[in-house]
Amino acid sequence: MGFLKNFFQNVFQEDVNVATSQSSDSNNHNSSSFEHLSKEELEAHLGVRKYGSFTLTEAIRPSYDLKVVPSQGYRHDAYHDQDSNTKLPVLMASASHEKLFEIFIELLAPLGNVVDVVLETSHSRDGSGHVDLYREHMDMPVLLSTLWDYEDLLTNDGCTGLAVLNPNIPQEIQFDEHKLLIVYGEQLEPYERILESYGIDCKDEMKFITEAEHVHSSSDDYLQQFDELKTRLGMDATYG
């Protein structure tokens, strides 16, 4: 289903999950930019997939006021671990839909032949938030074959995310619910070269869609596919 169909089925039939999220930096006392829109205004906004040369997946849409306009690029960041008081270098990247999944797959190559996998879900309708399902010691060729089989789910479902890591390096590649590509670890130059080979340029001042209000989209069909992927990956844990 397209994003627009998902959204309006949720409004009028309640059979599709759609969630509006505020960025952690926004003032949560502010009203939503979607709050006073007519159906026609919502339809026009949610039907937009392209911003310039950048194409969104079906997983997410920006706020109506477009405080962050979706765009392509990557920036350097850092993850601060409060417990150990350490700082880990991070690359955050946004890529247009037509090459997004291929880039993600290529970013996995430096991790080696055996990896751990984390499957992230927020499909629960009871508001319980995210659940992470973990699989250790998976052969990379088997993982890659499985991920290609579920490209549509991983690319277009706004309630599914995936992380692949090698704790022995240590490095982690995350393909999150917002369809951002996030690389954690030291020695990030190989990943920068991969991004730049696809025309993803460094823009250290850029903002991502997560840094403003945005809307996630999912469906019952994607939930079923998620359960299938969970089984294929050997993850038996249940969730909300």
Summarize pLDDT for 36-58 with one digit per residue, the tens: 888 888 888 888 999 999 999 99
- Is residue 60 helix, strand or coil? strand
pLDDT at 123: 83
Q: What is the pLDDT of residues 73-85, one digit of tens each?
A: 999 999 887 777 7
% of the chain with per-residue pLDDT over 70: 83
Cis before 170 (ω within 30)? yes
For CA atoms 181, 182, 185, 190, the dihedral sign is positive
For residue 65, pLDDT over 70 is answered with yes
- Is residue 205 helix, strand or coil? coil
For residue 1, pLDDT over 70 is answered with no
**Model pTM score:** 0.86
Q: Which residue has the higher pLDDT, 27 or 73?
A: 73
For CA atoms 70, 97, 152, 191, the dihedral sign is negative
Q: Where are the chain's structural domains? A: 3-69+212-217, 73-208+222-232
pLDDT at 80: 84
Question: What is the bridge-based pairing of β-strands 114-121 and 131-139?
Answer: antiparallel
Neighbouring C-beta atoms of residue 218, cutoff 10 Å: 27
